Chains A and B, each alone.
Chain A
Amino acid sequence: MNILEATHLTKTYTIGDREIDVLKDVSLAVPEGEFLVVQGNSGSGKTTLLSILSGLDKPTQGRVFIEGRDITDLGEDEIAPLRNEIIGFVFQSFHLVPSLTVLENVMFPAELRRDPLAGDKARALLERVGMQDRLLSFPHQLSGGEKQRAALCRALVNAPRIIFADEPTGNLDSTNGKAILELLLGLREEHGTTLILVTHSGQIARMADRTILLRDGTINGESPHAP
């Protein structure tokens, strides 16, 4: 069963008096539990595709379905619970809330759904990624690797069905990048989570179930890899 489907997605941005087609008639389906990698050069539309698939942005044309539900025209407040419970995000720039501690950042999504175990779950995840000593640190006090580990814990605290990861290792050195990727894949394995990951790295792409290649806003190729 497909957990995510997108049909004929088009996205056009207007910059000044110019119209730029970032996505052109992109359709794809992602089965539950799949690890899908989206690759492409800079400006190929990878991040835009990820934003639209995750409901952060609206397509100019086309539709997006998550668990069979059409999310294309949902309002901000209607899509909020979906982001909170079904989707998890990991970004290249980490996007931790600067005014919150590490523990508070990780607890936040669980607290939003009034989970009484928010604190316990956050602590357990942070311990799992070796950050038990950094619970009360603020993001600006962390290294890049630590920030991304915290962001990863935050994405997983509500046990989402899909994780969208945009260049999660892009801002990290190779050691930290490798560690983060191992953690991401290990946790995904444990929870059977669907992972949609945007990356430039061919090495990561080879670890995926499937890779799609974007070029100039269209899917230019697809290469399944054996699990």
Chain B
Amino acid sequence: MLHKSFIRRQITRSGRQALVFVLCVTLSIVTIVALDGFGSSVNEAVLKDAKSLNGGDIIVHSHQPLSPGLSRALRSWEDQESLRSVRTYGFYTVVRVPGEDRSLLATLKVVEPGYPLYGSVELQSGRRFEDVLVQGKIVVERSLLDRLSVRMGDAIHVGSATLTISDVVTREPDRPVSLFSFGPRVFVSSQDLEALDLIRKGSRIQYDALLKVHDPDNLERIAQDLRDHALQGQERVETYRTARSRIKRFFDNFLFFLTLISIFTLLLAGIGIQSVLAAFLKEKERTVAIMKTLGATSRFVAVQFVTVLGVLGLLGTLAGLALGALLQAWLPGLFRGLIPSSVQPSLSWRMAIDGFILGILVVVLFTYLPLDDLKQLKPVAIFRSESARARRGWRAALTILAVMLAFLGLIVRRSLHDFEIGMWFVLGVAAFILAAALMAQAVLWALKRARIRSLTFRQALRGLFRPRNATRAIMITLTASLSIIFSITLVEKNIDASFVQSFPPDTPNVFFLDIQPAQLQEFKEALGRPAEYYPVVRGSISRIAGEDVDVEVERRSRGDNLAREFNLTYRDHLLGDESLVEGASLFRPDWEGLQVSVLDTVLDMRPVEVGDMIAFKIQGVPMEARVSSIRARRGELIQPFFYFVFQELALRDAPQTIFTALRVDSGEISALQNRMVKRFPNVSVIDVTQAVSTLTGVMVKLSGITRFFTVFSVLAGILIIISSVLATRHARIQEAVYFKILGARNGFVLKVFTLENVLLGLVSALLALGFSQTATWLISSRLFDIPFRPFLLSSLSMLMATVSLVTLVGLISSWSILRQKPAAFLREQTEE
């Protein structure tokens, strides 16, 4: 039976607690709802523009000129007039200003007439791309003009050709964002390809054939035929429906990561829900005890409060949906530069229903325990202030735990398509929250036993242990959420200091790629300084340790995968930063046949042991080698390394290029680059410091977005602070009044309450700093192999900011308590 007026009054009489509960529910789902909708919008946009984003109906990718078999198949379809194709060639090269020492790494795209097949390349002048990009002319990105100080109509050297800048590109259909590019775009007509003289054997070039199929019904048939003729591991045939562009892959991964953070927020908001609810229901204990004394059954009580929480949960869920939709509308702005500009937020019934179900799941998951506690309450509570709850048996506890895990699993399943990683993440987060809880508990244990002389400080400390104070919940939530934010900031600063502010000493900062074997001697002489030269042969793996490489499965991997092309090399010695972890020597003198030494990183993708066989395809030629040793490297981020090293005789005659990496004083880089490119136009020079700075720009953007989403978990902490103040409102007023009755001034009470919040913020921030400094040290030393710096000043700023925030929130929530008149409170007490 529902007692409507009772239910209404329970909500209105604890209005503030109810509001915080609603806000916690809202917070728990808002980011997931927004990201879910946003992800759908991106997918829709990508699907809608899939043909132009991928460049055609069918796309053939290769790092080698198309194999004769595939070329023939392609020509045959063209001859039948089933399709039209254009070829494009993408690569990095250094362009130079004639007669001057100005040069720049650029991202070249050589295109045949007819490009693009879908969409259009928009130019600053408004002219048609095909009219502008003719022989002898180039179209460039605005930043090239700025960085080389050249203007439209000027000529620049591209490879061995001198070409005139004829326009500025403002939008490319198959390159929706340029954030990840290491150099500005330069469009060159395919008629100039030969004059560039940049395509040599083994050069690092992306050969693409973009196809427009005349009859859509033929699409799959043609694609399958081309796949059948493609060299596996070297040539990839995709349709616009199946292709996952780099941007899409990146976005999927980043969205996955943000959804993980949202689940983290959900868990913290869940702690908030439980904390608020415990306080809310504690206030109702007396009412429940009275109801039970008058004969109400546990079921009757449960029904009333389930309805109360159902109403509040519903309000929270609806608010979460509304705010999620609002946030979703704002996300394209936040992600600007990372996603195609055509992405528009869209609302759907599916999103609303999904969000609604999620909200209900969250409410059920996090309200079950406090509600069950209330059900267990005995009528004797009417006489006693201490808890009169029945104790749970271990079976009941296990059942509850299993139910909670199942619900959590459902939520993870719903939000993340990769359930296994999601569950590992949830378990990891649970372990981290447990660690934060243990640390908070240890600190509280120590604080409780501290003997403090100062009266104000002592009272503040005592306040932390006030009955019903959610001190521990606040500390856990703030510690966990701030740890993430602090860690992001500190890692970012460490990387910035190591790579951007000061590039690590003894680390190569200039890479020369695509040196042809015939140029090697002349190159060495021109360079005029000692350097190690690494031959590079490109190849793929078809079978490893007895298992075939499944291209589809491998490509779904979030990390590195075995389906890509690898840079293979040959030598007979270990590099300076390498050591053997298995095998006595790089190669076994007692073994017959081909041998390969494998870097231990490969083991992360597939377990391999010494003696296992690996089948490679090098330029289409199959080759099987036996694993002779497994190497490890010290992990210098920017030192050259190779996953697979062969004996010289195995690869010496394969098509190859050579690269070298060396350390050059920053002031000399530009002159060296100009000198070498002038003499060897086909050689790409990469100034790593500039590349790192580009990457840092991307990283700053990504960490900004991550921080934005983590702030929602801090909000969970703030809500718990507010709920804690509300839950202990009576106790706080009591303290304030008693202090005043005993002769304390308002200033004293204010100082005690302020100091209590300062302590709360300080302990949480110090614990978070401890966690984040440890995490940053681990990430810096183990992952990036850069020196760890604690950034004490920044740490102090973050500490101060946290303390200020917590104190401010705590004091604002307590303001009306501080103004309470003693007589009024005492009168209420007496009346009770």
Contacts and interface: CB of A to CB of B under 8 A. Distances in A.
Interface in B725-752: 731, 734-735, 738-748
B185 to A, nearest CB: 67
A47 B747 contact: no
Given A76-B746, A77-B747, A95 B741 contact: yes
A51 B743 contact: no
Nearest to A100: B462
A89 to B, nearest CB: 6
Interface stretch (B303-311, B582-590, B695-703, B821-829): B821-829
Contacts of B744: 80, 84, 112
B742 A108 contact: yes
B455 interface: yes
A83 B740 contact: yes
B821 A57 contact: yes
Contacts of A104: 458, 462
Interface string B450-487: 00000100110011011100000000000000000000
B830 interface: yes
A111 B459 CA distance: 11
Interface in A95-115: 95-100, 104, 108-109, 111-113
B386 interface: yes
A5 interface: no
Contacts of B458: 104
A30 B735 CA distance: 31
B830 A47 contact: yes
Indicate the size class of the contact surface on chain A.
20 to 34
Contact of B742 (A77, A93, A99, A112): A112
Contacts of B735: 97-99
A83 B746 CA distance: 13
A81 B743 contact: yes
Contacts of B465: 99
A82 B742 CA distance: 9
A99 B822 CA distance: 18
B376 to A, nearest CB: 22
A108 B456 CA distance: 10
A99 B741 contact: no
A225 interface: no
Contacts of B734: 95, 97-98
Is chain A's interface secondary structure helix, strand, loop, or mixed overall?
Answer: helix
Contact of B455 (A47, A87, A96, A111): A111
A169 to B, nearest CB: 15
A98 B466 contact: yes
B822 A109 contact: no
Given A80-B743, A83-B740, A83-B742, A98 B731 contact: yes
A85 interface: yes
A222 B823 CA distance: 26
A140 B386 contact: yes
B743 A83 contact: yes
A147 to B, nearest CB: 13
**Chain B interface residue count: which class?**
20 to 34
Contacts of A83: 740-743
Contact of A85 (B459, B743, B747): B743
A47 B822 CA distance: 13
Contact of A113 (B462, B466, B743): B743
A123 interface: no
A92 B738 CA distance: 14
A59 to B, nearest CB: 11
Contacts of B455: 108, 111-112
B829 A99 contact: no
Given A84-B742, A104-B458, A98 B748 contact: no
B357 to A, nearest CB: 43
Contact of B466 (A77, A84, A96, A99): A99
Contacts of B826: 47, 51, 56, 91, 95
Given A51-B823, A57-B821, A99-B465, A77 B741 contact: no
A154 interface: yes
A63 to B, nearest CB: 17
A158 B743 CA distance: 11
Nearest to A83: B743
Nearest to B386: A140
B576 to A, nearest CB: 63
A85 B734 CA distance: 21
Contacts of B747: 77
A77 B743 contact: no
B743 A109 contact: yes
A131 to B, nearest CB: 18
Contacts of A51: 823, 826-827
Contacts of A57: 821-824
Contacts of B821: 57
A77 B830 contact: no
Given A98-B731, A99-B465, A84 B743 contact: yes
Contacts of A108: 455, 739, 742
A87 B747 CA distance: 20
A56 B746 contact: no
Nearest to A87: B743
Contacts of A84: 742-744
Interface string A209-225: 00000000000000000
Given A97-B738, A109-B743, A112-B742, A47 B466 contact: no
A41 to B, nearest CB: 15
Given A57-B823, A89-B741, A112 B748 contact: yes
Interface string A40-76: 0000000110010000110000000000000000001
B740 A76 contact: yes
B463 A99 contact: yes
Given A83-B740, A109-B743, A112-B742, A56 B467 contact: no
A9 B4 CA distance: 46
Contacts of B731: 98-99
Contacts of B746: 76-77, 80
A99 B467 CA distance: 8
Contact of A92 (B463, B824, B830): B830
Interface of B: 385-386, 455, 458-459, 462-463, 465-467, 731, 734-735, 738-748, 821-824, 826-827, 829-830
12 contacts: A77-B745, A77-B746, A91-B826, A97-B462, A97-B735, A97-B739, A98-B467, A98-B731, A99-B467, A108-B455, A112-B455, A140-B386
Given A47-B830, A140-B385, 12 more contacts: A51-B827, A56-B823, A80-B743, A83-B742, A87-B743, A91-B826, A97-B735, A97-B739, A98-B731, A99-B467, A112-B748, A154-B742
Interface of A: 47-48, 51, 56-57, 76-77, 80-85, 87, 89, 91-93, 95-100, 104, 108-109, 111-113, 140, 154, 158
